[in-house]
Amino acid sequence: MSHTTYQVIVQGKFAPLDDEQRASLRARADEHDVFSARFTEEGTVTYQRTLHGFAFRVLVPAEEEDSEALVLSKAEELAAVAVRKLGAECGDLRSTATDLASIKVRRKGR
C-alpha cells in the first residue's frame, strides 16, 4: 500500500454571525491573516476583518487508492472543526487538492 499527501485549500463562508462572534473573530484577525497561512496536518484558518469568508489550508495524508473526493471530504471536515474552534459555523465550502507526489520541481541551471 502506497501513501501520498494532498495539499488542500478549502474556501468557505462564515454562517451568519452574531455581534459577539464578530467581535471575537475581529479581535483575533491578526493571528489569522494570510501571512500566517501554512499547510500543516492540523491546518490553518485565514480570514479578513470583513468576515465575508475564510480559507483553510491543510495537508491530508492518504492511501494511494483513496479518491480525491474522500480527501476533499476529510479536509472540509477539518475546516468545519477549525472554524467551530474559533466560535463560528461555516458553509458554502469549495475545495481544491494537489497530490504532492505530482508536483515537479524544476531546478535552474540543470
List the CATH number of the domain containing 71.
3.30.70
Instruction: Tell me whether residue 66 is in a domain.
Output: yes
Residue 103 has pLDDT above 90, yes or no: no
Condensed to tens digits (0 to 9), the pLDDT of residues 71-96 reads 999 999 999 999 999 999 999 999 99
Residue 42 has pLDDT above 90, yes or no: yes
Instruction: Tell me whether residue 107 is in a domain.
Output: no
Over residues 41-62, mean pLDDT: 95
User: How many domains does the chain fold into?
Assistant: 1
* Mean per-residue pLDDT of the chain: 92
Residue 44 has pLDDT above 60, yes or no: yes
Residue 109 has pLDDT above 70, yes or no: no
Instruction: Tell me whether residue 110 is in a domain.
Output: no
Neighbouring residues of 19: CB distance < 8 A, sequence distance ≥ 6: none
Strand partners for 95: 10
Residue 108: per-residue pLDDT: 74
* Residue tagged 485565514 (cell numbers): 46
Question: What is the residue range of 87's domain?
Answer: 3-102
Residue 36: per-residue pLDDT: 84
Residue 3: per-residue pLDDT: 87
Instruction: Tell me whether residue 108 is in a domain.
Output: no
Q: CA triplet 3, 66, 96: central angle to 5 degrees?
A: 100
Question: pTM (2 decimals)?
Answer: 0.89
